[in-house]
Amino acid sequence: MSIVIGAILFWAFAWWLNQRLVSIDTSTRPHMAKAINLGVPVIFGITLLVLWVGITRGFEIPQVLLPPPSAIWERIINSIPILWVDFKQTILKAVFAGYILGCGSGFIVALAIDRSPFLQNGLLPLGNFVSALPIIGVAPIMVMWFGFDWHSKAAVVVVMTFFPMLVNTIQGLAAANQMERDLMRTYASSWWQTLIKLRLPTAAPFIFNALKINSTLALIGAIVAEFFGTPIVGMGFRISTEVGRMNVDMVWAEIAVAALAGSTSYGGIALIERAVTFWHPSIRSGRT
């Protein structure tokens, strides 16, 4: 029980420390603002780990229910070859290919819809319908169509990422107001010139929002799709088989790798967004 009390005291201290950090005026000290923005989530993450250790050790929770972080870390270190093979199968093949195809095709179709009122009236309702289909219904169909290898998982990722990109791009292209469009017309700008110089820059925050959303949807879709048929490799395959063997520490190791990959991809896209849309008010004000 002393471990639990110690973890609670550490949580209280971390809470107080974070409250003090976020209350510091950093309006004239940008470097301190960056340090605080980095330090607060780090302290929060360490606090979660300490609470996790305190609960599992203090209440003697069986590892089959919830292993401590030390056991998960040990499993990661001892299973690097297996985790790397699963990472290549799921992330580097299925997720990467499906993400590129899904986001790219969604963007291209959005441009076509913007040019054609017929497609806008006919394809968007269909897109809303397909986007509501549950992944557990789509995944078995894709496995039957494209086989048990990573191609079927990439197809699931395409389905999951296509419509968020489509909808966000269409909304972004419509974000330019009428006065700005009239100004481009007074300059005798063509549709392509207006698109490149006005509408795409205006739509950039919407497009990056879709890219960030899809970075996590793609990972979820590929892992879940592997539950319905895959070679004896892959993160979803490993999770489903190790749960059956009661090797929960291996399951958590795969989850940790997936979470790290998803967070890294999301953070990378966010950094690119800050570099590309530096002119946007939300970026200038430092709120995102």
Per-residue pLDDT of 81-132, as tens digits, reads 999 999 999 999 999 999 999 999 999 988 888 887 777 777 777 767 776 7
Amino acid (one-letter) located at 152: S
pLDDT band at residue 288 under the 50/70/90 scheme? very low
Show Cβ contacts of residue 260 under 8 Å, excluding neighbours closer than 6 positions.
none
pTM of the model: 0.81
pLDDT at 286 over 70: no
Rounded mean pLDDT of 132-154? Answer: 83
Domain 78-284 has CATH 1.10.3720.10: yes
| Residues 70, 79: Cα–Cα separation, whole Å | 14
pLDDT at residue 17 in the model: 84
| Residues 218, 104: Cα–Cα separation, whole Å | 13
pLDDT at residue 1 in the model: 64
Q: What is the largest CA-CA distance in the chain?
A: 76
Helical (H) or strand (E) element with 173: helix 150-173
Domain locations in the chain as residue ranges: 2-61, 78-284
Burial of 139 (0-12, 13-18, 19+ CB in 10 A): buried
Sign of CA dihedral 243, 253, 255, 210: negative
